[in-house]
Amino acid sequence: MNIHEYQAKKILQSYGIKVPEGAIAYTPGEAKRGAQRVSPHGPWMMKAQIQSGARADGHFLEKKAGRKGGIRLIKHRKDIFTEAEKMLGSTLVTKQTGDKGKTVSKVYIEKYYKTKQMFYAGLIINRNVPCITLLITPSTTNVLELAVQEPDKILYTNLGLDDEVTVEQTTKILDFLHLNEKYRDELRDFINKMHKAFLELDAIMMEINPVGIDSEDKLIALDAKISFDDNALYRHPDIWQLHDDYEDDAGTLKAAQYGFGYYKLDEGSIGCIVNGDGVALSMADMLDAHGEQMACFLNVKGGVDKDKISSGIKIIMTNPRVEGILINILGGFLRCNLVADGIIAAASEVGLNVPLVVRFEGTNKDEAKDILDSSGLPVIQADSMEDAVVKLVKAMRESD
Amino acid sequence: MSILVNKSTRVLVQGITGVQASFHVKRALAIGTKIVSGVSPQRGGTKYFGVPVFNTVQEAVTETKAEASVMFVPARAVKSAVKEVVEAGIKLAVMIADNVPVRDMLEIKTMLKGSETMLIGPNTPGIITPKEACLGIFPENIHQPGNIGVVSRSSTLTYEAALEIDRAGLGQSTVVGLGDDMIIGTDFVEILKRFHEDDNTKAIVLLGKLGGMYEEICAQYYADIKHKKPVIAYIAGTTMPFDYKMGYAGDIITHGKITAEHKREVMRSSGMIVVENLSQIHEYLSALK
Backbone angles phi, psi at B192, to 5 degrees: -60, -40
Cβ contact (<8 Å) for A148 and B251?
yes
Domain B11-120 has CATH 3.40.50.720: yes
Q: What is the mean pLDDT of chain A?
A: 91
This model of the complex carries an ipTM of 0.89
Q: Do domains B11-120 and B144-288 have the same CATH topology?
A: yes
Complete DSSP assignment for B263-286: HHHHHHHTT-EEESSGGGHHHHHH
Question: Nearest residue on chain A to B109, judged by CA atoms?
Answer: A130
pLDDT at residue A205 tops 70: yes
Name the band, by pLDDT with cuts 50, 70 and 90, for residue B247: low
Mean pLDDT of A63-68: 91
With CB atoms and an 8 Å threshold, state whether B246 touches A127. yes
Give the percent of chain A with pLDDT over 90: 66
Q: Can you give the pLDDT at residue B233?
A: 96
Whether residue A400 is predicted with pLDDT greater than 80 in this model: the reply is: no
pLDDT tens figures, B88-103: 999 999 999 988 999 9
State whether residue A384 sits within 8 Å of chain B by CB: yes
Q: Classify A294 as helix, strand or coil.
A: strand
Which pLDDT tens digit goes with each residue over A70-103? 999 999 999 999 999 999 999 999 988 878 889 9
pLDDT value of position B262: 85
Q: Which of A131, A259, A279 sits opposite B157 (nearest CB)?
A: A279
Q: What is the pLDDT of residue A147?
A: 81
| Mean pLDDT of all residues in B51-78 | 96
Domain segments of chain B as ranges: 11-120, 144-288
Interchain CB distance below 8 Å, A281 and B137:
no
Q: Pick from A202, A260, A281 the residue to mutate for testing the B interface (most B CBs within 10 Å).
A: A281
pLDDT at residue number B248: 61
B17 pLDDT higher than 60: yes
Q: Is the pLDDT of residue B244 over 60?
A: no
**What share of chain B has pLDDT > 70, as a percent?**
93
Contacts of B104 in chain A (CB under 8 A): 232
Distance CA A24, CA A53 (A): 18
Q: Would the pLDDT of B82 be above 90?
A: yes
Of A124, A293, A301, nearest to B249 by CB-CB distance is: A124
Q: What is the pLDDT of residue A333?
A: 72
Tell me what pLDDT residue B249 has: 63
Top-confidence residue, A92 or B23: A92
Of B154, B183, B254, nearest to A277 by CB-CB distance is B154
pLDDT of residue B63: 97
The verdict on a CB contact (< 8 Å) between A144 and B210 is no
Counting Cβ atoms within 10 Å, is residue B108 exposed (0-12), middle (13-18) or buried (19+)?
A: buried
Give the residue among A16, A302, A80, A64 at the shortest CA–CA distance from B177: A302
Q: Dihedrals φ, ψ of A58, to 5°?
A: -75, 175
CA B148 to chain centre: 15
Q: What are the tens digits of pLDDT across the range A133-188?
A: 999 999 877 777 788 788 889 999 999 888 789 999 999 999 999 999 999 999 99
A-chain residues within 8 Å CB-CB of B251? Answer: 144, 147-148
Task: With a cut of 80, say whether residue A251 has pLDDT above it.
Answer: no
pLDDT at B257: 66
Q: Which residues of B touch A225 (CB under 8 A)?
A: none
B227: which DSSP letter? S
What pLDDT does A86 receive? 95
With 80 as the cut, is the pLDDT of residue B271 above it?
Answer: yes
Q: Select from A130, A330, A333 the Cβ nearest to the Cβ of B160.
A: A330
The mean pLDDT value for A245-271 works out to 80
pLDDT digits over B129-165, tens only? 999 999 999 876 788 999 999 999 988 899 889 999 9
Res. A275: pLDDT tops 90: no
DSSP E strands, A168-259: 203-214, 219-221, 225-228
User: Looking at residue A142, what is its pLDDT?
Assistant: 75
Given a cut of 90, whether residue A358 has pLDDT beyond it is: yes
The residue with greater pLDDT, B258 or A287, is A287
For residues B107-114, give the mean pLDDT. 94
pLDDT of residue A75: 96
Q: CB A125 to CB B248 under 8 A?
A: no
Interface contact flag, A125 B102, Cβ < 8 Å = yes
Taking residues B277-288, report their average pLDDT: 91
Backbone phi and psi for residue A13, each to the nearest 5 degrees, phi listed first: -60, -40
Nearest CB partner across the interface for A330, out of B159, B239, B244: B159
Mutation target vs B (from A235, A285, A367; most B CBs, 10 A cutoff): A285
State residue A27's pLDDT score.
96
Q: What pLDDT, on a 0 to 100 scale, did the predictor assign at position B251?
A: 66
What is the phi/psi pair of residue A355, to 5°? -60, 140
A252: nearest Cα among A283, A287, A298, A219: A298
CA distance B105 to chain A (A): 9
Highest mean pLDDT of the ranges A121-135, A185-199, A336-350: A185-199
Nearest to A348 by CA among A376, A371, A374, A323: A376
Q: Please answer yes or no on whether A281 and B209 come within 8 Å at the CB atom.
A: yes
pLDDT at A74: 96
The arithmetic mean of pLDDT across residues B205-232, rounded, is 93
Q: Are B138 and B11 in contact (CB under 8 A)?
A: no
- The minimum CA-CA distance between A358 and chain B, rounded to whole Å, is 15
Q: What is the pLDDT of residue B245?
A: 56
Between residues A305 and A214, the one the model is more confident about = A214
Band of residue A307 on the pLDDT scale cut at 50, 70, 90: confident
* Res B234 pLDDT > 90: yes
Considering the domain delimited by B144-288, tell me its CATH architecture.
Answer: 3-Layer(aba) Sandwich (3.40)
Give pLDDT, residue B246. Answer: 54
Q: Is the pLDDT of residue B256 over 80?
A: no
Domains and CATH numbers, chain A: 21-111 (3.30.1490.20), 115-237 (3.30.470.20), 250-399 (3.40.50.261)
State the nearest Cα–Cα gap between B62 and chain A, in angstroms.
Answer: 30
Contact A281 B246 (CB under 8 A): no
CA distance B281 to A128: 28
d(CA B153, nearest CA chain A) in Å: 8
What is residue A313's predicted lDDT score, i.e. its pLDDT? 86
Structure confidence at residue A261 as a pLDDT band (50, 70, 90) = confident
Strands (E), chain B: 11-14, 35-39, 47-48, 51-54, 68-71, 92-95, 118-120, 126-129, 133-136, 145-152, 172-177, 203-209, 231-236, 273-275
User: Is the CB of residue A265 less than 8 Å from the CB of residue A293?
Assistant: yes
User: B10: closest CA among B88, B70, B77, B83?
Assistant: B70
Contact A210, A223 (CB under 8 A): yes
Neighbours of A216 (CB within 10 A): 8
B289/chain A closest Cα distance in angstroms:
23
Q: What is the pLDDT of residue B241?
A: 64
Residue A397: count of CB within 10 angstroms of its CB:
12
Decide if A260 contacts A316 (C-beta within 8 A). Answer: no
Q: Select the more confidently predicted residue: A320 or A5.
A: A5
- Nearest by CB to residue B252, choosing from A147, A331, A333, is A147
CB within 8 Å of chain B, chain A residues 125-184:
125-128, 130-133, 135, 143-144, 147-148, 151, 154, 160-161
pTM: 0.89
Write down the pLDDT at residue B242: 55
> Do the Cβ atoms of B251 and A154 come within 8 Å?
no
Contact yes or no for B6/B132 (Cβ under 8 A): yes
Share of chain B above pLDDT 90, in %: 74
pLDDT of residue A6: 96
Residues of A known to be catalytic: 120, 207
- Is residue A296 within 8 A of residue A325, CB to CB? The reply is no
Question: To the nearest whole angstrom, how far is the Cα of A205 from the nearest Cα of chain B?
Answer: 7
